């Protein structure tokens, strides 16, 4: 049985190329109580409860669709491995880098887990999922379904026998013929009702018609702005790509400290973290002999979620992209935070995310041969991908063991050769960097600078006069806990 793939998901499926594989890669470090058997059972019971992960992504004759894998074997998708040597972070980073540089098997569902049993800090679960299956927000919600709030697993959402019986039922002639028709009819009825309702409302309410006209004008203006953005400047982060990736992750920051600093500077937590990332990139450039000028900026494409969080478990991609200018030429940490805040506030009031979502849908509707040059053109306007995903703030358990660390790396598209991922979990903020090996051979040289850049902001915040009573209280608590 086949299901049509959404146009946006189709665009992400076709976006893959040897220099940029469209995989979201995650790493989870567990304590020693976790077991391979427990992790495998959890994946089999809960991950496979989502029908999509038993389906292949097929793109033939200009049409993309989901097709159930009749020969599905979980052992093909869940592997047990061991690291060489001391099995420390260097060895783990090398292994994850190899996986991030290796394409998934397109003849099967595009996801895979590796269980590393001999890592020095405890068992590790490495997850790879093709971006056409879901965006980062959705995958975080799905991943939460695999976890438990205590070492004792809760009752499973499904079990292997259930989905195997379901798979057999789905192969009947009745299901094959009726389900696609039902889905198509439901979609047609939904949109016809929606459009009819909107048309009646607009006819009855001239003010609403005027509002629609203004919104349409803003979208057109934003679309023109995105297309006419100049290409990002050539720096050591931008150039011809190779086919090998390198990943690294940093020592986590205290989320409490980040919140305290954001209160002092009257900005968001995201603003503080992006300012620290910008400072780390600037510091790396200076050490490599490339000094950005006072007003130098590079752009990052930042995903913006466009759906309610409770709908994320439906999978698929429902986000837009905005172009964020990052002030790498700003040497003053305080001015850097202020500039990041200003640029983020400008983006929050723009329609860029909605426009980019619509553009991806349009590209997914057209032939694949037209998609590549369009994406290349857009990717020239940015140097990196930057994403910040809020995770759960209480300890979670997987396969009987507590999750100690969580990291992930986003894919890059077109000519973009670097990605920075930020994830908060259990009171900590984790950073991951992925780079093209030809451009940045050792991303750990970038990521090790995140914490020093943040510490500059901590020291400055303690020295500044604070008028906000809430910030003063946070600062007192911060001092008392250290």
Residue 260 lies in a domain: yes
**pLDDT value of residue 328:** 96
Residue 425 lies in a domain: no
Q: Tell me if 419 sits within 8 A of 141, measured CB to CB.
A: no
Share of the chain above pLDDT 70, in %: 74
**pLDDT value of residue 100:** 96
Spell out where 15-131 has E strands. Answer: 23-30, 55-60, 63-68, 78-81, 111-116, 124-130
CA distance 430 to 316: 25
**Which residue is listed with tokens 């893959």?**
16
**pLDDT value of residue 101:** 96
Sign of CA dihedral 260, 445, 114, 168: positive
Residue 297 lies in a domain: yes
Quick one: average pLDDT of 57-65? 89
CA distance 158 to 384: 39
Domain of 72: which CATH number? 3.30.559.10
**pLDDT value of residue 480:** 54
**pLDDT value of residue 41:** 93
CA distance 81 to 74: 15
Residue 87 or residue 62, greater confidence: 87
Could you give the number of structural domains in the chain? Answer: 2
For 98-135, the pLDDT digits (tens) are 999 999 999 999 999 999 999 999 999 999 999 999 88
Domain residues for the domain of 9 are 2-170
- Whether residues 374 and 458 fall in one domain: yes
Does the pLDDT at position 466 exceed 60? no
**pLDDT value of residue 78:** 97
Residue 269 or residue 464, greater confidence: 269
pLDDT-based confidence at residue 243 (cuts at 50, 70, 90): very high
- Whether residues 352 and 442 fall in one domain: yes
Does the pLDDT at position 368 exceed 90? no
**pLDDT value of residue 135:** 86
- Whether residues 34 and 160 fall in one domain: yes
Residue 12 lies in a domain: yes
Domain of 474: which CATH number? 3.30.559
**Which residue is listed with tokens 């720096």?**
235
Residue 218 or residue 459, greater confidence: 459
**pLDDT value of residue 181:** 33
Residues 6+ apart with CB under 8 A from 175: 1, 169
pTM of structure: 0.81
Does the pLDDT at position 28 exceed 60? yes
For 163-201, the pLDDT digits (tens) are 444 444 433 333 333 333 333 333 333 434 444 454 445
Measured CA distances, 18 to 15, 24, 409 (Å): 10, 15, 17
Secondary structure (DSSP) of 143-207? HHHH-BSSSSPPPPS--HHHHHHHHHHHTSHHHHHHHHHHHHHHHHHHHHHHHHHHHHHHHH-HH
Mean of the per-residue pLDDT values of the chain: 81
């Amino acid at each position: 049985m086949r299901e049509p793939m959404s146009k946006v998901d189709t665009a992400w499926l076709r976006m893959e190329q040897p220099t940029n594989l469209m995989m979201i890669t995650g790493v989870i470090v567990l304590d020693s109580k976790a077991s391979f058997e427990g992790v495998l059972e959890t994946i089999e019971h809960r991950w496979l409860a989502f029908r999509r992960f038993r389906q292949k992504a097929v793109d033939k004759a200009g049409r993309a669709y989901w097709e159930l894998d009749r020969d599905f074997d979980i052992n093909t998708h869940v592997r047990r491995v061991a690291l060489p040597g001391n099995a420390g972070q260097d060895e783990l980073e090398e292994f994850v880098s190899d996986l991030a540089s290796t394409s998934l098997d397109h003849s099967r569902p595009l996801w895979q887990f590796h269980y590393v049993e001999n890592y020095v800090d405890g068992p590790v679960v490495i997850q790879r999922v093709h971006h056409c299956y879901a965006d980062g927000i959705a995958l975080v919600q799905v991943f939460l379904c695999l976890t438990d709030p205590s070492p004792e697993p809760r009752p499973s959402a499904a079990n292997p026998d259930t989905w195997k019986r379901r798979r057999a039922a789905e192969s009947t002639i009745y299901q094959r013929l009726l389900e696609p028709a039902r889905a198509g009819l439901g979609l047609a009825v939904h949109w016809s009702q929606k459009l009819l309702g909107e048309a009646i409302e607009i006819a009855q309410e001239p003010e609403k018609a005027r509002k629609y006209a203004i919104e349409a004008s803003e979208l057109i203006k934003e679309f023109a702005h995105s297309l006419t953005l100049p290409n990002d400047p050539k720096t050591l982060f931008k150039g011809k790509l190779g086919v090998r990736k390198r990943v690294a992750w940093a020592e986590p920051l205290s989320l409490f400290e980040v919140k305290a600093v954001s209160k002092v500077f009257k900005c968001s937590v995201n603003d503080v973290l992006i300012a620290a990332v910008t400072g780390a990139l600037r510091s790396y450039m200076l050490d490599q002999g490339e000094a950005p000028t006072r007003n130098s900026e590079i752009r990052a494409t930042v995903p913006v979620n466009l759906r309610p969080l409770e709908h994320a478990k439906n999978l698929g991609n429902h986000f837009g992209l905005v172009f964020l200018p990052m002030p790498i030429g700003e040497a003053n940490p305080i001015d850097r935070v202020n500039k990041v805040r200003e640029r983020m506030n400008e983006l929050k009031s723009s329609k860029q995310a909605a426009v980019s979502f619509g553009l991806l849908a349009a590209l997914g509707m057209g032939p694949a041969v037209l998609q590549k040059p369009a994406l290349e053109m857009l990717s020239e306007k940015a140097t990196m991908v930057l994403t910040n995903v809020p995770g759960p703030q209480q300890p979670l358990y997987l396969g009987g063991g507590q999750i100690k660390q969580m990291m992930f790396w986003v894919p890059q598209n077109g000519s973009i050769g670097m990605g920075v991922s930020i994830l908060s979990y259990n009171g900590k903020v984790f950073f991951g960097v992925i780079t093209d090996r030809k451009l940045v051979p050792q991303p750990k040289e970038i990521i090790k600078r995140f914490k020093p850049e943040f510490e500059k902001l901590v020291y400055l915040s303690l020295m500044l006069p604070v008028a906000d009573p809430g910030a003063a209280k946070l600062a007192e608590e911060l001092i008392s806990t250290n």
